[in-house]
Structure 1
Amino acid sequence: MKKLSGGLINTIYLDDGRIKKIYSDNSLIKGLGFNSRQRMHNELVALRIFSKELPCFVPKIIEENKDKKEVVIENIEGNPIEQLLIETKVDLTYKNLDLRIANILKTIHGKVIADNTEVIKKYNSNFSEFFNNSKAILEYENVDTDKLLKIISSYVKLDSFTKADAVFVHGDFWLDNMLFSKDDHIYVIDWEFSGMGFSYEDLGIFFTNVDMFFQDGSSHRFYQNYNLNLDFRLIKLFCFYRCMRLLSFIDLDIYKSSPENYNHSFKSLVKIVKKLLSEL
Protein backbone atom coordinates (compact mmCIF):
# COMPACT_ATOMS: atom_id res chain seq x y z
CA MET A 1 0.00 0.00 0.00
CA LYS A 2 1.50 3.34 -1.10
CA LYS A 3 0.57 6.68 0.41
CA LEU A 4 -0.19 9.28 -2.25
CA SER A 5 0.72 12.95 -2.08
CA GLY A 6 -1.97 15.63 -2.16
CA GLY A 7 -5.11 15.89 -0.12
CA LEU A 8 -5.10 18.68 2.45
CA ILE A 9 -7.63 16.95 4.67
CA ASN A 10 -7.68 13.20 4.09
CA THR A 11 -5.19 10.35 3.79
CA ILE A 12 -5.13 8.61 0.41
CA TYR A 13 -3.42 5.35 -0.56
CA LEU A 14 -2.93 3.33 -3.71
CA ASP A 15 -3.82 -0.17 -2.53
CA ASP A 16 -3.65 -3.13 -4.92
CA GLY A 17 -4.51 -0.95 -7.91
CA ARG A 18 -7.37 0.80 -6.12
CA ILE A 19 -7.68 4.10 -4.27
CA LYS A 20 -8.32 3.97 -0.52
CA LYS A 21 -9.51 7.24 0.99
CA ILE A 22 -9.57 7.70 4.76
CA TYR A 23 -11.64 10.70 5.85
CA SER A 24 -10.06 12.55 8.74
CA ASP A 25 -11.12 15.54 10.78
CA ASN A 26 -8.79 18.49 10.35
CA SER A 27 -8.76 21.60 12.52
CA LEU A 28 -8.04 23.72 9.44
CA ILE A 29 -11.51 23.08 8.07
CA LYS A 30 -14.08 25.44 9.55
CA GLY A 31 -17.84 25.55 9.11
CA LEU A 32 -20.80 23.28 9.69
CA GLY A 33 -21.02 20.04 7.76
CA PHE A 34 -17.28 19.63 7.24
CA ASN A 35 -16.72 16.81 9.73
CA SER A 36 -15.31 13.62 8.31
CA ARG A 37 -18.48 11.50 8.45
CA GLN A 38 -20.49 14.20 6.68
CA ARG A 39 -17.85 14.56 3.98
CA MET A 40 -17.78 10.79 3.45
CA HIS A 41 -21.58 10.74 3.20
CA ASN A 42 -21.57 13.62 0.69
CA GLU A 43 -19.05 11.85 -1.52
CA LEU A 44 -20.83 8.49 -1.49
CA VAL A 45 -24.17 10.12 -2.35
CA ALA A 46 -22.63 12.00 -5.30
CA LEU A 47 -20.75 8.99 -6.64
CA ARG A 48 -23.94 6.93 -6.58
CA ILE A 49 -26.03 9.63 -8.26
CA PHE A 50 -23.63 10.29 -11.12
CA SER A 51 -22.49 6.70 -11.66
CA LYS A 52 -25.71 6.35 -13.68
CA GLU A 53 -24.71 9.01 -16.22
CA LEU A 54 -23.43 8.02 -19.64
CA PRO A 55 -20.64 8.61 -20.29
CA CYS A 56 -19.81 8.11 -16.63
CA PHE A 57 -17.59 10.86 -15.19
CA VAL A 58 -17.09 9.54 -11.65
CA PRO A 59 -14.99 6.64 -10.33
CA LYS A 60 -16.80 3.50 -9.19
CA ILE A 61 -17.27 2.69 -5.50
CA ILE A 62 -15.69 -0.67 -4.66
CA GLU A 63 -15.97 -0.84 -0.85
CA GLU A 64 -17.01 1.38 2.03
CA ASN A 65 -16.50 1.13 5.77
CA LYS A 66 -18.44 3.80 7.66
CA ASP A 67 -17.01 2.77 11.05
CA LYS A 68 -13.43 3.30 9.85
CA LYS A 69 -14.50 6.21 7.62
CA GLU A 70 -12.87 4.56 4.60
CA VAL A 71 -13.94 4.31 0.98
CA VAL A 72 -12.23 2.27 -1.73
CA ILE A 73 -12.81 3.48 -5.31
CA GLU A 74 -11.40 2.55 -8.69
CA ASN A 75 -8.07 4.08 -9.63
CA ILE A 76 -8.35 6.28 -12.72
CA GLU A 77 -5.06 6.12 -14.60
CA GLY A 78 -4.33 9.59 -15.88
CA ASN A 79 -3.41 13.09 -14.74
CA PRO A 80 -5.18 16.02 -13.13
CA ILE A 81 -6.19 18.37 -15.94
CA GLU A 82 -4.27 21.29 -14.44
CA GLN A 83 -1.06 19.23 -14.44
CA LEU A 84 -1.74 18.10 -18.02
CA LEU A 85 -2.19 21.67 -19.26
CA ILE A 86 0.94 22.94 -17.51
CA GLU A 87 3.21 20.08 -18.59
CA THR A 88 2.03 19.98 -22.22
CA LYS A 89 1.69 23.79 -22.53
CA VAL A 90 -1.77 23.57 -24.07
CA ASP A 91 -4.96 25.40 -23.12
CA LEU A 92 -8.47 24.22 -22.30
CA THR A 93 -9.49 24.02 -25.95
CA TYR A 94 -7.16 20.99 -26.19
CA LYS A 95 -9.30 18.01 -27.17
CA ASN A 96 -12.33 20.22 -26.40
CA LEU A 97 -11.70 19.93 -22.66
CA ASP A 98 -13.52 23.23 -22.07
CA LEU A 99 -16.68 22.07 -23.85
CA ARG A 100 -16.62 18.69 -22.16
CA ILE A 101 -16.14 20.19 -18.71
CA ALA A 102 -19.05 22.56 -19.42
CA ASN A 103 -21.24 19.58 -20.34
CA ILE A 104 -20.30 17.73 -17.15
CA LEU A 105 -21.08 20.80 -15.05
CA LYS A 106 -24.40 21.23 -16.84
CA THR A 107 -25.24 17.60 -15.98
CA ILE A 108 -24.31 18.10 -12.32
CA HIS A 109 -26.43 21.24 -12.09
CA GLY A 110 -29.34 19.51 -13.76
CA LYS A 111 -30.38 18.07 -10.40
CA VAL A 112 -32.72 20.88 -9.26
CA ILE A 113 -34.82 21.22 -6.10
CA ALA A 114 -37.79 23.55 -5.80
CA ASP A 115 -37.01 25.69 -2.76
CA ASN A 116 -33.82 27.72 -2.35
CA THR A 117 -34.57 29.09 1.14
CA GLU A 118 -32.09 26.89 3.03
CA VAL A 119 -29.41 27.41 0.40
CA ILE A 120 -29.68 31.20 0.73
CA LYS A 121 -29.44 30.88 4.52
CA LYS A 122 -26.33 28.73 4.15
CA TYR A 123 -24.61 31.15 1.79
CA ASN A 124 -25.46 34.25 3.82
CA SER A 125 -24.07 32.56 6.93
CA ASN A 126 -20.95 31.35 5.12
CA PHE A 127 -20.24 34.70 3.47
CA SER A 128 -20.31 36.33 6.90
CA GLU A 129 -18.15 33.61 8.48
CA PHE A 130 -15.59 33.44 5.67
CA PHE A 131 -15.29 37.24 5.48
CA ASN A 132 -14.74 37.55 9.23
CA ASN A 133 -12.26 34.64 9.29
CA SER A 134 -10.19 35.95 6.37
CA LYS A 135 -10.41 39.67 7.16
CA ALA A 136 -7.19 39.85 9.20
CA ILE A 137 -5.11 38.33 6.38
CA LEU A 138 -6.77 40.48 3.71
CA GLU A 139 -6.18 43.67 5.70
CA TYR A 140 -2.59 42.63 6.41
CA GLU A 141 -2.16 42.48 2.61
CA ASN A 142 -3.83 45.91 2.20
CA VAL A 143 -7.05 44.63 0.64
CA ASP A 144 -9.92 47.13 0.84
CA THR A 145 -12.20 44.99 3.00
CA ASP A 146 -14.83 47.76 3.25
CA LYS A 147 -15.24 47.68 -0.52
CA LEU A 148 -15.27 43.88 -0.51
CA LEU A 149 -18.00 43.76 2.14
CA LYS A 150 -20.06 46.35 0.28
CA ILE A 151 -19.90 44.31 -2.94
CA ILE A 152 -20.84 41.07 -1.16
CA SER A 153 -23.72 42.77 0.67
CA SER A 154 -25.14 44.24 -2.54
CA TYR A 155 -24.70 41.16 -4.72
CA VAL A 156 -26.51 38.80 -2.31
CA LYS A 157 -29.56 41.06 -2.69
CA LEU A 158 -29.68 40.72 -6.48
CA ASP A 159 -32.70 38.93 -7.94
CA SER A 160 -30.30 36.62 -9.76
CA PHE A 161 -29.07 35.49 -6.33
CA THR A 162 -32.32 35.42 -4.33
CA LYS A 163 -34.23 33.68 -7.15
CA ALA A 164 -31.48 31.30 -8.27
CA ASP A 165 -32.34 27.62 -8.57
CA ALA A 166 -31.07 25.36 -5.82
CA VAL A 167 -29.17 22.60 -7.61
CA PHE A 168 -26.67 19.86 -6.86
CA VAL A 169 -23.13 21.29 -6.73
CA HIS A 170 -19.70 19.68 -6.55
CA GLY A 171 -18.40 22.28 -4.09
CA ASP A 172 -14.70 22.00 -5.04
CA PHE A 173 -14.85 22.14 -8.84
CA TRP A 174 -11.33 23.07 -9.90
CA LEU A 175 -8.98 21.53 -12.43
CA ASP A 176 -7.02 19.50 -9.88
CA ASN A 177 -10.22 17.59 -9.10
CA MET A 178 -10.67 16.55 -12.73
CA LEU A 179 -8.65 13.66 -14.14
CA PHE A 180 -7.96 13.12 -17.85
CA SER A 181 -7.64 9.38 -18.27
CA LYS A 182 -5.36 7.47 -20.61
CA ASP A 183 -8.39 6.68 -22.78
CA ASP A 184 -9.28 10.41 -23.06
CA HIS A 185 -12.19 10.50 -20.61
CA ILE A 186 -12.73 13.17 -17.96
CA TYR A 187 -13.45 12.03 -14.40
CA VAL A 188 -14.46 14.35 -11.56
CA ILE A 189 -13.18 13.35 -8.12
CA ASP A 190 -13.30 14.59 -4.49
CA TRP A 191 -17.04 15.10 -4.01
CA GLU A 192 -16.90 15.47 -0.23
CA PHE A 193 -18.11 19.10 -0.26
CA SER A 194 -20.98 18.36 -2.64
CA GLY A 195 -24.62 18.98 -1.86
CA MET A 196 -27.28 21.55 -2.60
CA GLY A 197 -26.24 25.05 -3.61
CA PHE A 198 -26.23 27.51 -6.48
CA SER A 199 -24.56 26.72 -9.79
CA TYR A 200 -22.59 29.95 -9.38
CA GLU A 201 -20.59 28.34 -6.55
CA ASP A 202 -19.04 25.76 -8.89
CA LEU A 203 -18.59 28.37 -11.62
CA GLY A 204 -16.89 30.73 -9.16
CA ILE A 205 -14.55 27.99 -7.96
CA PHE A 206 -13.74 26.97 -11.54
CA PHE A 207 -12.98 30.51 -12.71
CA THR A 208 -11.02 31.54 -9.60
CA ASN A 209 -7.73 30.36 -11.11
CA VAL A 210 -8.47 29.10 -14.61
CA ASP A 211 -7.86 32.26 -16.68
CA MET A 212 -4.31 31.22 -17.58
CA PHE A 213 -5.69 28.14 -19.34
CA PHE A 214 -8.03 30.05 -21.66
CA GLN A 215 -6.80 31.81 -24.78
CA ASP A 216 -8.10 35.37 -25.19
CA GLY A 217 -11.87 35.18 -25.55
CA SER A 218 -11.97 31.38 -25.58
CA SER A 219 -13.89 31.22 -22.28
CA HIS A 220 -16.91 32.14 -24.43
CA ARG A 221 -16.83 28.58 -25.75
CA PHE A 222 -17.28 27.26 -22.22
CA TYR A 223 -20.20 29.57 -21.46
CA GLN A 224 -21.83 28.88 -24.80
CA ASN A 225 -21.84 25.18 -24.03
CA TYR A 226 -22.86 25.63 -20.41
CA ASN A 227 -25.30 28.56 -20.42
CA LEU A 228 -24.97 32.09 -21.76
CA ASN A 229 -27.85 33.35 -19.61
CA LEU A 230 -25.74 33.98 -16.51
CA ASP A 231 -25.22 36.92 -14.18
CA PHE A 232 -21.45 37.26 -14.32
CA ARG A 233 -21.50 39.40 -11.17
CA LEU A 234 -22.42 36.27 -9.25
CA ILE A 235 -19.52 34.32 -10.71
CA LYS A 236 -17.22 37.02 -9.31
CA LEU A 237 -19.13 36.93 -6.03
CA PHE A 238 -18.40 33.22 -5.68
CA CYS A 239 -14.78 33.75 -6.67
CA PHE A 240 -14.60 35.94 -3.55
CA TYR A 241 -16.44 33.17 -1.66
CA ARG A 242 -13.85 30.61 -2.74
CA CYS A 243 -10.87 32.80 -1.86
CA MET A 244 -12.24 33.81 1.55
CA ARG A 245 -13.15 30.24 2.37
CA LEU A 246 -9.64 28.96 1.69
CA LEU A 247 -8.02 31.89 3.48
CA SER A 248 -10.20 31.00 6.48
CA PHE A 249 -8.25 27.76 6.85
CA ILE A 250 -5.34 29.54 8.53
CA ASP A 251 -4.99 32.46 10.91
CA LEU A 252 -2.81 35.52 10.42
CA ASP A 253 0.06 34.30 12.60
CA ILE A 254 0.39 31.10 10.57
CA TYR A 255 0.08 33.07 7.33
CA LYS A 256 2.90 35.43 8.35
CA SER A 257 5.24 32.74 9.68
CA SER A 258 4.75 30.01 7.06
CA PRO A 259 7.55 29.23 4.59
CA GLU A 260 7.11 30.64 1.08
CA ASN A 261 6.50 27.28 -0.59
CA TYR A 262 3.57 26.60 1.79
CA ASN A 263 2.24 30.14 1.71
CA HIS A 264 2.34 30.63 -2.06
CA SER A 265 -1.16 29.31 -2.69
CA PHE A 266 -2.64 31.52 0.02
CA LYS A 267 -0.87 34.60 -1.34
CA SER A 268 -2.22 33.82 -4.80
CA LEU A 269 -5.75 33.91 -3.35
CA VAL A 270 -5.10 37.40 -2.00
CA LYS A 271 -3.89 38.47 -5.47
CA ILE A 272 -7.12 37.14 -7.00
CA VAL A 273 -9.23 39.12 -4.52
CA LYS A 274 -7.26 42.29 -5.31
CA LYS A 275 -7.61 41.72 -9.05
CA LEU A 276 -11.37 41.18 -8.83
CA LEU A 277 -11.83 44.26 -6.65
CA SER A 278 -9.86 46.38 -9.13
CA GLU A 279 -12.30 45.33 -11.87
CA LEU A 280 -15.40 46.41 -9.93
Structure 2
Amino acid sequence: MTGAPRIALITGATQGLGLALAEGLAQRLAPDDTVYLTGRDLDRVNHAVESLPGGGARVRGELLDVADPHAAGRLAGRLAARHGGVDVVFGNAVMRVGPDDDPREIVTEYAEVNNFGTTRLLRAFAPLLRDGGRLVVVASSLGTLHYLAPILHDRFDGATSLDEVDAQVAAWRDAVADGSARGGPWPGFVNIPSKIGQVAAVRAFARERRGHDLAHGVLVAAVCPGMMNTPTSAEWWDVRGAPGPAEAAVPLLDLALGPVDPLHYGRLVRNGKVLPWSPYRDDSA
Protein backbone atom coordinates (compact mmCIF):
# COMPACT_ATOMS: atom_id res chain seq x y z
CA MET A 1 0.00 0.00 0.00
CA THR A 2 1.04 3.61 -0.48
CA GLY A 3 2.72 5.74 2.17
CA ALA A 4 -0.26 8.12 2.28
CA PRO A 5 -2.89 7.77 5.03
CA ARG A 6 -4.87 4.64 4.31
CA ILE A 7 -8.61 4.64 3.69
CA ALA A 8 -10.80 1.65 4.49
CA LEU A 9 -14.53 1.06 4.05
CA ILE A 10 -16.89 -1.65 5.28
CA THR A 11 -20.48 -2.10 4.12
CA GLY A 12 -23.06 -3.61 6.47
CA ALA A 13 -20.94 -2.58 9.44
CA THR A 14 -23.42 -1.65 12.15
CA GLN A 15 -23.40 -5.06 13.86
CA GLY A 16 -21.91 -8.54 13.86
CA LEU A 17 -19.01 -9.28 11.55
CA GLY A 18 -19.12 -5.88 9.87
CA LEU A 19 -18.75 -4.07 13.18
CA ALA A 20 -15.93 -6.44 14.18
CA LEU A 21 -14.14 -5.69 10.91
CA ALA A 22 -14.48 -1.96 11.51
CA GLU A 23 -13.06 -2.30 15.01
CA GLY A 24 -10.26 -4.59 13.84
CA LEU A 25 -9.25 -2.26 11.03
CA ALA A 26 -9.30 0.74 13.34
CA GLN A 27 -7.03 -1.06 15.82
CA ARG A 28 -4.60 -2.29 13.16
CA LEU A 29 -4.33 0.93 11.16
CA ALA A 30 -2.56 4.14 12.18
CA PRO A 31 -4.05 7.31 13.69
CA ASP A 32 -3.68 9.13 10.36
CA ASP A 33 -5.79 6.48 8.61
CA THR A 34 -9.60 6.51 8.28
CA VAL A 35 -12.11 3.66 8.49
CA TYR A 36 -15.55 4.31 7.02
CA LEU A 37 -18.26 2.36 8.83
CA THR A 38 -21.35 2.25 6.64
CA GLY A 39 -24.93 1.07 6.85
CA ARG A 40 -28.37 1.98 5.58
CA ASP A 41 -29.75 3.43 8.84
CA LEU A 42 -28.01 6.61 9.98
CA ASP A 43 -28.95 6.23 13.66
CA ARG A 44 -27.50 2.72 13.72
CA VAL A 45 -24.39 3.91 11.91
CA ASN A 46 -23.82 6.68 14.45
CA HIS A 47 -24.46 4.32 17.37
CA ALA A 48 -21.99 1.79 15.96
CA VAL A 49 -19.29 4.43 15.57
CA GLU A 50 -19.84 5.61 19.14
CA SER A 51 -19.67 2.03 20.45
CA LEU A 52 -16.13 1.42 19.21
CA PRO A 53 -13.18 1.84 21.57
CA GLY A 54 -10.74 4.63 20.87
CA GLY A 55 -7.23 4.27 19.55
CA GLY A 56 -5.86 3.49 16.14
CA ALA A 57 -7.46 4.89 13.02
CA ARG A 58 -10.25 7.43 12.94
CA VAL A 59 -13.69 5.86 12.36
CA ARG A 60 -16.27 7.82 10.40
CA GLY A 61 -19.86 6.85 9.74
CA GLU A 62 -21.40 7.09 6.27
CA LEU A 63 -24.86 6.23 5.02
CA LEU A 64 -24.76 3.54 2.32
CA ASP A 65 -27.73 1.45 1.24
CA VAL A 66 -26.29 -0.98 -1.30
CA ALA A 67 -29.84 -1.73 -2.52
CA ASP A 68 -29.95 1.81 -3.93
CA PRO A 69 -28.62 1.48 -7.48
CA HIS A 70 -26.77 4.81 -7.24
CA ALA A 71 -25.63 4.92 -3.60
CA ALA A 72 -22.28 3.12 -4.00
CA GLY A 73 -21.32 5.33 -6.92
CA ARG A 74 -22.21 8.48 -5.01
CA LEU A 75 -20.16 7.46 -1.98
CA ALA A 76 -17.24 6.40 -4.16
CA GLY A 77 -17.30 9.84 -5.76
CA ARG A 78 -17.22 11.56 -2.38
CA LEU A 79 -14.31 9.44 -1.13
CA ALA A 80 -12.42 10.00 -4.37
CA ALA A 81 -12.82 13.76 -3.92
CA ARG A 82 -11.72 13.60 -0.27
CA HIS A 83 -8.87 11.12 -0.48
CA GLY A 84 -8.07 10.41 -4.12
CA GLY A 85 -8.53 6.66 -3.64
CA VAL A 86 -9.14 3.84 -1.17
CA ASP A 87 -6.97 1.04 0.20
CA VAL A 88 -9.28 -1.54 1.79
CA VAL A 89 -12.92 -2.31 0.97
CA PHE A 90 -14.97 -5.02 2.66
CA GLY A 91 -18.30 -5.86 1.03
CA ASN A 92 -20.25 -7.23 4.00
CA ALA A 93 -23.79 -5.88 3.50
CA VAL A 94 -26.30 -8.71 3.71
CA MET A 95 -30.02 -9.18 4.06
CA ARG A 96 -30.62 -12.01 6.49
CA VAL A 97 -33.24 -14.69 5.91
CA GLY A 98 -34.92 -16.80 8.58
CA PRO A 99 -36.40 -20.31 8.46
CA ASP A 100 -39.94 -18.92 8.49
CA ASP A 101 -39.43 -16.48 5.61
CA ASP A 102 -41.21 -17.29 2.34
CA PRO A 103 -38.51 -17.17 -0.38
CA ARG A 104 -41.03 -15.85 -2.92
CA GLU A 105 -41.74 -12.83 -0.75
CA ILE A 106 -38.18 -11.89 0.19
CA VAL A 107 -36.10 -12.90 -2.85
CA THR A 108 -36.36 -9.59 -4.70
CA GLU A 109 -34.98 -7.54 -1.81
CA TYR A 110 -32.58 -10.36 -0.92
CA ALA A 111 -30.97 -10.37 -4.36
CA GLU A 112 -30.97 -6.58 -4.48
CA VAL A 113 -28.87 -6.33 -1.32
CA ASN A 114 -26.71 -9.43 -1.40
CA ASN A 115 -26.04 -9.78 -5.11
CA PHE A 116 -26.66 -6.55 -6.98
CA GLY A 117 -25.27 -4.71 -3.95
CA THR A 118 -22.06 -6.72 -4.38
CA THR A 119 -21.71 -6.01 -8.09
CA ARG A 120 -22.44 -2.32 -7.54
CA LEU A 121 -19.69 -2.21 -4.92
CA LEU A 122 -17.21 -3.87 -7.28
CA ARG A 123 -18.01 -1.45 -10.08
CA ALA A 124 -17.92 1.64 -7.88
CA PHE A 125 -14.88 1.03 -5.69
CA ALA A 126 -12.46 -1.12 -7.69
CA PRO A 127 -11.49 1.90 -9.84
CA LEU A 128 -10.51 3.75 -6.63
CA LEU A 129 -8.14 1.06 -5.33
CA ARG A 130 -4.64 2.40 -4.92
CA ASP A 131 -1.53 0.31 -5.39
CA GLY A 132 -1.57 -2.44 -2.78
CA GLY A 133 -5.33 -2.12 -2.31
CA ARG A 134 -7.75 -4.85 -1.25
CA LEU A 135 -11.37 -5.43 -2.21
CA VAL A 136 -12.83 -8.35 -0.29
CA VAL A 137 -16.40 -9.65 -0.65
CA VAL A 138 -17.69 -11.56 2.38
CA ALA A 139 -19.38 -14.69 1.04
CA SER A 140 -19.63 -18.30 2.25
CA SER A 141 -18.44 -21.81 1.52
CA LEU A 142 -21.97 -22.30 0.18
CA GLY A 143 -20.85 -20.11 -2.71
CA THR A 144 -19.33 -22.98 -4.69
CA LEU A 145 -20.76 -25.12 -7.48
CA HIS A 146 -20.64 -28.15 -5.18
CA TYR A 147 -24.00 -27.00 -3.76
CA LEU A 148 -25.66 -26.41 -7.12
CA ALA A 149 -27.23 -28.98 -9.46
CA PRO A 150 -24.82 -29.72 -12.36
CA ILE A 151 -27.39 -28.62 -14.93
CA LEU A 152 -27.08 -25.09 -13.51
CA HIS A 153 -23.28 -24.89 -13.35
CA ASP A 154 -22.80 -23.24 -16.74
CA ARG A 155 -25.00 -20.33 -15.72
CA PHE A 156 -22.30 -19.13 -13.31
CA ASP A 157 -19.16 -21.03 -14.30
CA GLY A 158 -19.10 -19.48 -17.76
CA ALA A 159 -19.85 -15.90 -16.72
CA THR A 160 -17.19 -13.52 -18.00
CA SER A 161 -18.58 -10.19 -16.80
CA LEU A 162 -20.57 -8.67 -13.98
CA ASP A 163 -23.42 -8.04 -16.41
CA GLU A 164 -23.61 -11.77 -17.16
CA VAL A 165 -23.62 -12.66 -13.47
CA ASP A 166 -26.33 -10.06 -12.80
CA ALA A 167 -28.43 -11.56 -15.59
CA GLN A 168 -28.18 -15.07 -14.12
CA VAL A 169 -29.01 -13.82 -10.63
CA ALA A 170 -32.02 -11.97 -12.05
CA ALA A 171 -33.23 -15.14 -13.78
CA TRP A 172 -32.94 -17.09 -10.53
CA ARG A 173 -34.67 -14.30 -8.58
CA ASP A 174 -37.58 -14.24 -11.02
CA ALA A 175 -37.93 -18.03 -10.92
CA VAL A 176 -38.14 -17.97 -7.13
CA ALA A 177 -40.56 -15.04 -7.13
CA ASP A 178 -42.98 -16.61 -9.60
CA GLY A 179 -42.75 -20.06 -8.00
CA SER A 180 -41.25 -21.85 -11.02
CA ALA A 181 -37.99 -22.53 -9.13
CA ARG A 182 -39.86 -24.98 -6.88
CA GLY A 183 -40.34 -27.46 -9.69
CA GLY A 184 -36.84 -27.11 -11.10
CA PRO A 185 -33.25 -27.80 -10.06
CA TRP A 186 -32.73 -24.65 -7.98
CA PRO A 187 -32.06 -25.35 -4.27
CA GLY A 188 -34.79 -24.29 -1.90
CA PHE A 189 -32.37 -22.43 0.41
CA VAL A 190 -32.00 -19.02 -1.25
CA ASN A 191 -28.66 -18.43 0.43
CA ILE A 192 -26.97 -21.00 -1.86
CA PRO A 193 -27.64 -19.41 -5.28
CA SER A 194 -27.09 -15.97 -3.78
CA LYS A 195 -23.65 -16.85 -2.40
CA ILE A 196 -22.71 -18.62 -5.63
CA GLY A 197 -23.68 -15.44 -7.47
CA GLN A 198 -21.42 -13.38 -5.20
CA VAL A 199 -18.41 -15.64 -5.76
CA ALA A 200 -19.14 -15.82 -9.50
CA ALA A 201 -19.15 -12.02 -9.59
CA VAL A 202 -15.73 -11.86 -7.95
CA ARG A 203 -14.38 -14.48 -10.35
CA ALA A 204 -15.76 -12.75 -13.46
CA PHE A 205 -14.58 -9.32 -12.32
CA ALA A 206 -11.14 -10.66 -11.47
CA ARG A 207 -10.70 -12.15 -14.95
CA GLU A 208 -10.94 -8.66 -16.41
CA ARG A 209 -8.48 -7.10 -13.96
CA ARG A 210 -6.03 -9.83 -12.97
CA GLY A 211 -2.98 -8.69 -14.93
CA HIS A 212 -3.28 -5.06 -13.93
CA ASP A 213 -4.12 -5.76 -10.30
CA LEU A 214 -1.34 -8.25 -9.60
CA ALA A 215 1.17 -5.88 -11.22
CA HIS A 216 0.05 -3.22 -8.72
CA GLY A 217 -0.22 -5.45 -5.65
CA VAL A 218 -4.02 -5.31 -5.63
CA LEU A 219 -6.15 -8.17 -4.32
CA VAL A 220 -9.77 -8.81 -5.30
CA ALA A 221 -11.19 -11.88 -3.57
CA ALA A 222 -14.19 -13.46 -1.87
CA VAL A 223 -13.84 -14.72 1.66
CA CYS A 224 -15.65 -17.23 3.86
CA PRO A 225 -15.62 -16.30 7.55
CA GLY A 226 -16.96 -19.73 8.53
CA MET A 227 -19.79 -20.49 10.93
CA MET A 228 -20.26 -17.77 13.53
CA ASN A 229 -22.13 -17.62 16.79
CA THR A 230 -24.72 -14.98 15.94
CA PRO A 231 -28.48 -14.77 16.56
CA THR A 232 -29.18 -15.19 12.83
CA SER A 233 -27.05 -18.30 12.48
CA ALA A 234 -28.63 -19.72 15.63
CA GLU A 235 -32.00 -19.74 13.85
CA TRP A 236 -30.62 -22.35 11.46
CA TRP A 237 -27.86 -24.28 13.24
CA ASP A 238 -26.39 -25.08 16.64
CA VAL A 239 -23.64 -22.48 16.80
CA ARG A 240 -22.85 -22.63 20.52
CA GLY A 241 -19.29 -23.81 19.82
CA ALA A 242 -18.67 -21.43 16.91
CA PRO A 243 -16.50 -18.31 17.21
CA GLY A 244 -18.06 -14.92 17.62
CA PRO A 245 -17.70 -12.13 15.06
CA ALA A 246 -14.52 -10.68 16.59
CA GLU A 247 -12.69 -14.02 16.33
CA ALA A 248 -14.10 -14.74 12.87
CA ALA A 249 -12.88 -11.34 11.66
CA VAL A 250 -9.20 -12.10 12.35
CA PRO A 251 -8.37 -14.13 9.19
CA LEU A 252 -10.33 -11.63 7.08
CA LEU A 253 -8.27 -8.77 8.48
CA ASP A 254 -5.10 -10.78 7.91
CA LEU A 255 -6.11 -11.24 4.27
CA ALA A 256 -6.86 -7.55 3.83
CA LEU A 257 -3.75 -6.21 5.51
CA GLY A 258 -1.15 -8.91 4.80
CA PRO A 259 0.93 -9.59 1.68
CA VAL A 260 -0.91 -10.57 -1.50
CA ASP A 261 -0.86 -14.25 -2.39
CA PRO A 262 -1.51 -14.47 -6.16
CA LEU A 263 -3.33 -17.78 -5.58
CA HIS A 264 -6.00 -15.88 -3.65
CA TYR A 265 -6.74 -13.49 -6.48
CA GLY A 266 -10.31 -13.84 -7.75
CA ARG A 267 -10.96 -16.86 -5.53
CA LEU A 268 -12.99 -17.78 -2.45
CA VAL A 269 -10.66 -17.94 0.57
CA ARG A 270 -11.25 -19.42 4.02
CA ASN A 271 -8.60 -19.17 6.74
CA GLY A 272 -5.93 -18.38 4.16
CA LYS A 273 -6.73 -21.31 1.85
CA VAL A 274 -8.61 -21.33 -1.44
CA LEU A 275 -11.87 -23.28 -1.59
CA PRO A 276 -12.35 -25.12 -4.90
CA TRP A 277 -15.01 -23.53 -7.07
CA SER A 278 -16.04 -26.71 -8.92
CA PRO A 279 -16.47 -30.27 -7.65
CA TYR A 280 -15.14 -31.52 -11.00
CA ARG A 281 -11.88 -29.61 -11.14
CA ASP A 282 -9.52 -27.95 -8.68
CA ASP A 283 -8.64 -24.40 -9.72
CA SER A 284 -7.31 -23.51 -6.28
CA ALA A 285 -3.70 -23.56 -7.51
TM-score, length-normalised on structure 2?
Answer: 0.28
Instruction: Report 1 or 2 for greater relative contact order, CA contacts < 8 Å, sequence distance ≥ 6.
Output: 1
TM-score, length-normalised on structure 1?
Answer: 0.28
